[in-house]
Copies of this chain bind each other. A is one copy, B any other.
């Protein structure tokens, strides 16, 4: 379709990330831009030039004690047995100027006053208890060199030395959102519309590094309008970002416009997410075409724009890196440097890294992640269990507080996350289904696994632990007995499913097992239920599929149906329990989670959500 287009050719021959960074260094030589900011707003900014003291501090000799200023020579000879009586002195408090002619201060404690006379029994040495002029800083001395990141403590000194504005480094960045499907932040998008959020992220990110970002209004997919916006932004800024809407397709004009106005250096980089990135130059200034998918935009900001700002002296804080065992195999294309978001946590003495969804539209992965993995472009990926280097997106102390939960999803987990957060614990939950959680617990790749696995004998969870973790000590903590049922728009029951469009949960999920169990009891075969093979991974996404009319019915917990205001017909109660290794019960994170489960507040939350029987909440069972 687009084979004849030279821009597309470029796009097809991807430029490696290393090459992109090298190109940017060649094309955009270090330059420095600065702006004056009031001292009060200077914290975190980087000085653009040296800062000099406008005057000395102090400018005169000051008393360093409360007492009297004297001429030291008048005191000579004073001693315990030889009091000296002074008539020529001046009363001073700490900070007062020493009146001319005096060169020492005698502390109030060492004086006995006799009328106007001061009696002392100890000679004063010259300049004792005097803060000499210029002691702190002398006029014309350099307070700070350029390139210094201003700390809160520096502001006091700068202010004391007469500074009220500071020249700090900046880069002005013009950000143009393009895309007819975009609606501004704060507007509820209609189906097919997307909130214009990537430029908010870019402005927040680059702004935090010291860039002065200006977001232009949304420009629709009209070449002339985009061109005019780019021309204006190039005039008004040191750097320009053109943010594409998430729908690319036939409406991707950015590269052509950059080629017209200047030069396209890169169209398509060996980076994933973020492949469609464009790097151009107009009037010597960098123009970045930022892809529309949120995680693509995020990756391009972090891996391309942040280093580019570094070339202009706005350096990002260094990122901490730690070795961790990967919990799942990740394959990656050779020739592409891939970035995978991670939840990392420390299980006993070992860091583990759980890869999050790689869907570039799943922006929540960016919120959930506390780290990421870089798969270099010469590798085909990593095997599960391999040791990788995780780059942290949070301070290490916060990563140390991560509690990795893997297993069956339930809305109550969000509330447990909220409760344990008060103890400084960061709960990271992966929706892997009950069997997934069981296996993660076996591989020691999670701290805790929420399960609701129904055994043929009718018991929940325990038989599975005995089977899959034989001989290992495991404790089950009951979160609640919860109602599963059929969610529909018309109040369908389980028996009424045949002939209605159904949406299922994934294999291995407790909900799926319960469904199959109950269908067998009713003698209904899966083939009678259209959509039985379509799998979603959370309760709420099942309820949503029903709400949007995409399916007629699904099975989920009551709270999910209630959250979306849909009818719910109970099928049965199941025991939703948290499995932990018994010897980890001493771990403070697990203690925090267990005590949150047992708290009255959590029971109240469950009651509010509805569909939970809390009589068993907090009850322990152990194997063996």
Contacts and interface: CB of A to CB of B under 8 A. Distances in A.
Interface of A: 1, 39-40, 42-44, 50, 54-62, 64, 66, 93-97, 100, 108, 126-127, 131-149, 151-162, 164, 181, 185-186, 188-189, 191-192, 194-198, 200-201, 203-205, 207-208, 245-251, 292, 294, 297-298, 301-302, 317-318, 359, 361-364, 366-367, 393-395, 397, 411, 414-415, 417-418, 421-422, 424, 427, 533-534, 536, 538, 540-541, 543-545, 548-550, 563-564
Contact of A195 (B153, B159, B191, B208): B159
Contacts of A39: 185, 200
A93 B292 CA distance: 13
A472 B543 CA distance: 79
A137 to B, nearest CB: 5
A425 to B, nearest CB: 10
Given A94-B248, A138-B543, A157-B367, 6 more contacts: A60-B191, A93-B251, A136-B361, A140-B540, A147-B421, A152-B204
27 contacts: A40-B200, A43-B204, A43-B207, A58-B191, A66-B249, A95-B181, A95-B246, A95-B292, A96-B247, A136-B363, A137-B364, A139-B544, A139-B564, A141-B411, A142-B418, A143-B364, A143-B367, A152-B207, A153-B201, A155-B197, A155-B201, A156-B204, A157-B294, A157-B367, A160-B195, A160-B294, A162-B195
Given A94-B248, A136-B364, A417-B142, A156 B297 contact: yes
A66 B534 CA distance: 22
Given A132-B541, A133-B544, A136-B363, A108 B1 contact: yes
A544 B363 contact: no
A26 B297 CA distance: 47
Contacts of A536: 132
Contacts of A249: 66, 93-95
Nearest to A141: B540
A317 B397 CA distance: 9
A59 B191 contact: yes
Shortest beta-carbon contacts, A-B, top 4: A156-B201, A93-B249, A95-B247, A152-B205
A134 B55 contact: no
Contacts of A207: 43, 152
A426 B57 CA distance: 24
Contact of A186 (B164, B363, B544, B563): B164
Copies in the complex: 2
A204 B41 CA distance: 8
A541 B134 contact: yes
B126 A367 contact: no
A186 B160 CA distance: 9
Given A60-B192, A194-B95, A421 B145 contact: yes
Contacts of A97: 191-192
Contacts of A94: 246-249
Given A60-B192, A93-B248, A247-B96, A142 B363 contact: no
Given A66-B249, A133-B545, A197 B159 contact: yes
Nearest to A50: B418
* Most chain B CB within a 10 A radius of its CB, from A40, A201, A208, A540: A201
B185 A136 contact: no
B145 A418 contact: yes
A123 to B, nearest CB: 14
